[in-house]
Amino acid sequence: MPGLLVLAAMLTAAFGVAPFSLAASAGVAFGGEADLRAAAHVAVLDYWTADTQNLTAGLSVLVEFWFRFHLAKAVFAALLVAVFIALAVRCWRAAPCERWRRAGTAFGAAVSAGMAALSLLVVMANVQGAVAPSSSLLPMIPDEVRSGFGAALRAGVREPAALPVLIGDFSRYHAAMAVVAGLVAAAVIAAAVYWRRTRFGIVAAVLACGVVVIGVANTMTALNPVPALQAFFDGGW
């Protein structure tokens, strides 16, 4: 068990610091989120003024970097899911006869299971970001571009040329989460059925309900992305 704890700590640290380095390519690297935001500000503003559906060179490089960044994070988070599940199982099986020690191992199992669930959500979010990196960059766009896109959506027009591209990518962004949520829900439901007579089965059933809600919400947004995108540009989320 100590080995798993050390591995979890190492993976958590790597999750926080390694993706920027792993996502870097020849001549393309960012020192941190501040540098990335500055680059996104310039690249998106250039794309806005270029009035073209094809990504500009600067934005294309940024999108490719962001794809690799999210892919690296998804891999680290998936490894953390496996480690925390292993920790939860070890704690559960190691429960001693003494009541007070049994309570301690049960608490450890619960914490590990909770961290596994949290890591799973992180995997889902980063897979979503890797599938549609342009949309996952939206929080970094400049205010003037945000207001311009918002005004165009309110007016019901599809100009500038970048707007239809953004709408399509935003739909794909939520469709990706809907698919991932469906796969995760199926796996968690299977786990709930397998462990239906244990507390893990109850936890899995509750988690499955939450994942299903996420999947349904994202499916609805993918089918009709404009209202949610409008809410984002208007500062609704």
Question: Cα separation of 170 and 237, whole Å?
Answer: 14
User: Which is more confidently placed, 233 or 81?
Assistant: 81
Mean pLDDT computed over 142-151: 78
Amino acid at site 37? R
Question: Cα separation of 147 and 235, whole Å?
Answer: 10
Burial class (CB in 10 A: 0-12, 13-18, 19+), 121: middle
**Quick one: the chain helix, strand, coil %, rounded to 5?**
85, 0, 15
Q: Check whether 109 has a pLDDT greater than 80.
A: no
Q: Look at residue 236 in the predicted model and tell me its pLDDT.
A: 53
User: Which is more confidently placed, 51 or 116?
Assistant: 116
Per the structure block, which two tokens stand in for 81? 């899911």
Ranges of each domain in the chain: 1-141, 163-236
Q: Check whether 100 has a pLDDT greater than 50.
A: no
Q: Look at residue 1 in the predicted model and tell me its pLDDT.
A: 65
- pTM value is 0.84
- % of the chain with per-residue pLDDT over 70: 91
Mean pLDDT computed over 180-189: 92
The phi and psi torsions of 28 (rounded to 5 degrees) equal -125, 110
